[in-house]
Amino acid sequence: MGKIALITGASGGIGAEIARSLNRDGFTTLLHYNRSKDKITALSEELGGSETFRADFEKSEEIEDMFKKIKTRHGGVDLLVNNAGLASYGLFTDINPTEWRRLFAVNVDAIYHCCRLAIPHMVHNKYGKIINVSSIWGICGASCEAAYSSAKSAVIGLTKALAKELGPSNITVNCVAPGAIMTDMLTSLSSEALELLKEETPLGRLGTPSDIAALVAFLASSRADFITGQVISPNGGFVI
């Protein structure tokens, strides 16, 4: 039986491509989603009937219920890809406490809950891989994205600390911090803004979900068994 992989936010562009890559590599892929039922159903069918799990990541009880179902059906997960995320744009002074808390609930607290619930199975088996998806803005920050940048920076800190803590149990923890990737998150930008992003990227183009999925698939493979605690940023040279 292949290893079990849970991909959170699998209905989005990057999450779906990660699921496809891991499925091709022989993983049994479990797909988390929240609202996009049509997209996740289509992806599940495409991947040969991958199980889907709905959970609102602002509600810890729904995350716990998801993991209870996974434990009952599969025992646990060998690979956890914390990909689900939420973006926000606006001046820092315009961010109200509710929006700030929501950004951290989805981007940070949900990763805490997923890791907390996935790790015991990994420790028991003396094997596991956790891959957290942060952002280039978690490394260098972005104007008008203070809350998002702060949350994604917290993901990086958690990755490094967990890597040290879980290493003795043969569990690797790494972070992927994408640059500007052509997904729904960029649809709010004007064509002029997108062109400016391309011009500021040394490789002269925006990234694709496949660029991110290829890196995640590598980190999930045995070829990356001696890599842990690292933050790798596929960003076309935007930040070096």
Question: Within a domain: residue 208?
Answer: yes
Distances (CA, A) of 240 to 58, 59, 95, 160, 221: 33, 36, 29, 19, 25
Question: Within a domain: residue 17?
Answer: yes
Q: Which residues are catalytic?
A: 148
pLDDT of residue 1: 54
Q: What's the whole-model pTM score?
A: 0.96
pLDDT of residue 98: 96
DSSP state at residue 206: -
Q: CB 222: neighbour CB atoms within 10 A? A: 7
Distances (CA, A) of 124 to 4, 43, 119, 233: 15, 31, 9, 31
DSSP state at residue 105: I
Q: Let me know if 137 is exposed, middle or buried by CB neighbors in 10 A (0-12, 13-18, 19+).
A: buried
Question: Within a domain: residue 131?
Answer: yes
For the chain, what is the largest distance between any 2 Cα atoms, rounded to a whole number of angstroms?
Answer: 52
Question: Within a domain: residue 238?
Answer: no
Cβ atoms 107, 87 nearer than 8 A: no
Q: Residue 231, SS3?
A: strand
What is the chain's percent helix, strand, coil content, to nearest 5? 50, 15, 35
Integer Cα distance of 46 and 2 in angstroms: 18
DSSP state at residue 169: G
Q: Tally the domains of the chain.
A: 1
CA torsion 37-39-40-43 (nearest 10°) is: 160
CA-angle at 215, arms to 209 and 219, nearest 5°:
140
What domain range is 44 assigned to? 4-232
Closest CA to 29 of 177, 224, 201, 220: 220
The token pair at 100 is: 């700030």
CA-angle at 193, arms to 188 and 199, nearest 5°:
140
Question: Within a domain: residue 237?
Answer: no
- Give me the tens of pLDDT residue by residue for the chain, a chain 240 residues long: 579 999 999 999 999 999 999 999 999 999 999 999 999 999 999 999 999 999 999 999 999 999 999 999 999 999 999 999 999 889 999 999 999 999 999 999 999 999 999 999 999 999 999 999 999 999 999 999 999 999 999 999 999 999 999 999 999 999 999 999 988 777 777 889 889 999 999 999 999 999 999 999 999 999 999 999 999 999 999 999
CATH code at 124?
Answer: 3.40.50.720
